[in-house]
């Protein structure tokens, strides 16, 4: 009985040991499995972060490639590319290619998708010029060959005549002497013809060179005329004069009538510069309606300035996100202008040198420079170049010399493709607000503020003569007992 109990205890002990060993083995397996899963999870996170960074870099590279192919190229400046990226090298090569092959294209059109058509057009123009030059050279060569053939025929005829004379030398010595003189004359004529042929050849070559120079000048004029026509078509369609705004309104305080803009010292901004304000939304710049004008009062930082609102619309106030524009200023650039006509700023139809000086100051205060100008004698001071931004045209002068200079400057603008803009539109785009003068009605009133407007358009002038009913008034003699007041005559005059 005791042995059975011992056997039961042994069996129970064995079962307990086996269970404990099994539990230990299971715990070891579970610990190893959990450690492996954590390592795999960490590896997966690290790989996911690397993949995300790779995807971001690929997206940036795709954006850069899209900007190089389709444009605009300005987007390349804001795309962060890895220094060791292959696309970074392609971007550097893109800038080199654009500077080499597309320097005469607009900055917004410099892309691989547009440079092909530009190069093909240039190649076609060069091929046409080469074809014309080749045709002229062929004509000259044909004329030269004809002259040489004629010369050979003449030489052959001369040799034949000389042989005839040699045969008759013994018979007619006198005739031989005469023929000898004739032969000398023929030789001189032949030499003159040869010299004339050489001179004709030189003149023809000079004419070809002049024609080539003239054709190149004509092609440039046609290109400038085409650009001018494109600008006029944009004006007829009502498109904006500007394409790229100069800055943006970042914050506004309607109570104090102040705004903050995102241009500053680094952009070349200065105090007292004026700008026009336009709406900007998802559809782009609404240039059909100006919202207001601002004037810079304080340049705060590299790309921050404070300005006051000099004019705005109550029904459409200035808000953050609106864009600003001035025709005389670009960030980091100095704009060039030309002036022609009478600068009538206040619209009183009078010539005033102070108003021309005001236009000068408005341009120079905003960082611009005047490259050419027609003075009151019709002389053009300065030179207008393709770098000129606008030709500001005032009222048409009536003086013959001044009108001739006015017309000449306009012809130059048309030849090089400079856009002309009216003075009123120019001042409006600048955001200029003219001074308001009050016409007084008291003792301080001025006579020139109330001038009559006659049908003839001329002012009435005094002739220095008066009517017979107006005579010098004299007081009565002292002691006469009468009044000191003048006496009225029957005809209404006073003594």
Give 280-304 as a 3 state SS string.
Answer: EECCEEEEEEEEEEEEEEEEEECCE
- With tokens 């004026």, the residue in question is 274
Quote the percentage of the chain above a pLDDT of 90.
6
Average pLDDT of the segment spanning 220-244: 55
The tens digit of pLDDT for each residue in 278-330 reads 887 656 565 667 889 999 999 999 889 999 998 888 888 999 989 998 877 77
Cβ burial, residue 369 (10 Å; 0-12/13-18/19+): middle
Residue 364 has pLDDT above 60, yes or no: yes
What pLDDT, on the 0 to 100 scale, is given for residue 179? Answer: 80
What pLDDT, on the 0 to 100 scale, is given for residue 259? Answer: 95
DSSP β-bridge partners for residue 249: 261
The fold for domain 336-430 equals: Rossmann fold (3.40.50)
Which is nearest to 257 in space by CA: 211, 297, 199, 220? Answer: 297
Confidence band, pLDDT 50/70/90 cuts, at residue 431:
low
What pLDDT, on the 0 to 100 scale, is given for residue 332? Answer: 73
**Two tokens, residue 456:** 């003839």
Residues 6+ apart with CB under 8 A from 72: 107, 108, 111
Which is more confidently placed, 389 or 338?
338
Which of 36-40, 60-64, 191-195 reaches the highest mean pLDDT?
191-195
CA distance 77 to 99: 16
Q: How far is CA 22 from the centre of its chain?
A: 87
Which of 17-31, 181-195, 329-343, 414-428 reaches the highest mean pLDDT?
181-195
Quote the percentage of the chain above a pLDDT of 70.
76
Which is more confidently placed, 235 or 17?
17
What pLDDT, on the 0 to 100 scale, is given for residue 298? Answer: 92
Q: Where do the structural domains in the chain lie, given as residue ranges? A: 9-63, 116-236, 247-325, 336-430
Average pLDDT of the segment spanning 399-423: 85
Residue 353 has pLDDT above 60, yes or no: yes
List the beta strands (DSSP E) in 129-227. Answer: none
**Two tokens, residue 415:** 């030849």
What pLDDT, on the 0 to 100 scale, is given for residue 227? Answer: 58
The tens digit of pLDDT for each residue in 436-459 reads 455 556 665 656 555 555 444 444
**What is the number of alpha carbons within 13 Å of residue 101 lying toward its C-beta?**
20
Q: Is the pTM of this model over 0.85?
A: no
Residue 411 has pLDDT above 70, yes or no: yes
Which is nearest to 103 in space by CA: 125, 91, 119, 88? Answer: 119
What pLDDT, on the 0 to 100 scale, is given for residue 426? Answer: 80
For domain 247-325, give the CATH number. 2.40.10.410
Question: What average pLDDT is seen over the chain?
Answer: 76
Q: Give the CA distances from residue 381 to residues 356, 372, 399, 412, in Å, rounded to whole numbers and listed in that order.
A: 14, 5, 18, 13
Average pLDDT of the segment spanning 417-429: 81
Radius of gyration of the chain (CA): 47
Residues 6+ apart with CB under 8 A from 249: 259, 260, 261, 277, 318, 319, 320, 321, 322, 323, 324
Residue 162 has pLDDT above 50, yes or no: yes
Which is nearest to 269 in space by CA: 297, 230, 235, 288? Answer: 297
Residue 95 has pLDDT above 90, yes or no: no
For 299-338, give one letter per residue: b (16+ CB within 10 A) or e.
beeebbbbbebebbeeeeebeeebbbbbbbbbbeeebbbb
**Two tokens, residue 106:** 């607009």
Question: Angle at CA 110, nearest 5°, toward 421 and 240?
Answer: 25
Confidence band, pLDDT 50/70/90 cuts, at residue 224:
low
């Amino acid at each position: 009985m005791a042995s059975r109990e011992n056997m039961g205890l042994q069996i129970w002990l064995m079962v307990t040991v086996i269970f404990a060993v099994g539990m230990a083995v299971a715990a070891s397996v579970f610990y190893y499995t959990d450690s492996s899963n954590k390592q795999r999870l960490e590896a997966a996170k690290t790989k996911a972060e690397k993949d995300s960074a790779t995807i971001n870099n690929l997206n940036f590279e795709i954006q850069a490639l899209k900007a190089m192919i389709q444009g605009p190229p300005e987007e390349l400046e804001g795309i962060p590319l890895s220094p060791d990226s292959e696309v970074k090298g392609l971007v550097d090569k893109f800038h080199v290619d654009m500077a080499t092959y597309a320097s005469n294209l607009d900055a917004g059109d410099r892309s691989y998708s547009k440079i092909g058509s530009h190069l093909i057009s240039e190649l076609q123009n060069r091929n046409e010029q080469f074809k014309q030059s080749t045709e002229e050279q062929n004509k000259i060569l044909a004329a030269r060959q004809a002259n040489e053939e004629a010369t050979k025929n003449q030489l052959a005829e001369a040799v034949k005549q000389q042989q005839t004379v040699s045969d008759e030398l013994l018979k007619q010595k006198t005739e031989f002497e005469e023929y000898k003189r004739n032969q000398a004359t023929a030789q001189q004529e032949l030499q003159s013809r040869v010299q004339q042929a050489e001179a004709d050849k030189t003149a023809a070559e000079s004419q070809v060179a002049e024609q080539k120079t003239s054709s190149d000048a004509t092609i440039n004029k046609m290109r400038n005329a085409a650009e001018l026509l494109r600008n006029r078509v944009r004006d007829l369609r009502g498109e904006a004069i500007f394409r790229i705004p100069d800055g943006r309104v970042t914050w506004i305080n309607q109570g104090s009538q102040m705004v903050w803009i995102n241009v500053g010292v680094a952009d070349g901004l200065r105090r007292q510069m004026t700008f026009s304000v336009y709406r900007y939304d998802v559809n782009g710049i609404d240039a059909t309606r100006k919202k207001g004008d601002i004037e810079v009062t304080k340049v705060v930082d590299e790309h921050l300035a404070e300005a006051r609102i000099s004019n705005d619309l109550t029904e459409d106030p200035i808000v953050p996100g609106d864009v600003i524009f001035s025709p005389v200023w670009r960030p980091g650039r100095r704009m060039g202008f030309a002036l022609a006509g009478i600068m009538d700023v206040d619209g009183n139809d009078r010539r005033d040198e102070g108003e021309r000086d005001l236009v000068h100051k408005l341009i120079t205060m905003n960082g611009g420079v005047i490259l050419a100008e027609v003075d009151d004698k019709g002389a053009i001071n300065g030179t207008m170049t393709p770098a000129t931004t606008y030709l500001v045209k005032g009222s048409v002068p009536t003086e013959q010399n001044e009108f001739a200079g006015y017309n000449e400057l306009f012809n130059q603008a048309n030849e090089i493709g400079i856009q002309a803009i009216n003075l009123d539109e120019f001042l409006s785009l600048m955001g200029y607000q003219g001074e308001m003068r009050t016409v007084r009605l008291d003792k301080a009133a001025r006579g020139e503020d109330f001038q009559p407007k006659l049908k003839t358009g001329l002012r009435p002038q005094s002739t220095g003569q008066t009517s017979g009913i107006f005579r010098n008034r004299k007081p009565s003699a002292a002691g006469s007992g009468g009044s000191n007041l003048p006496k009225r005559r029957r005809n209404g005059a006073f003594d």
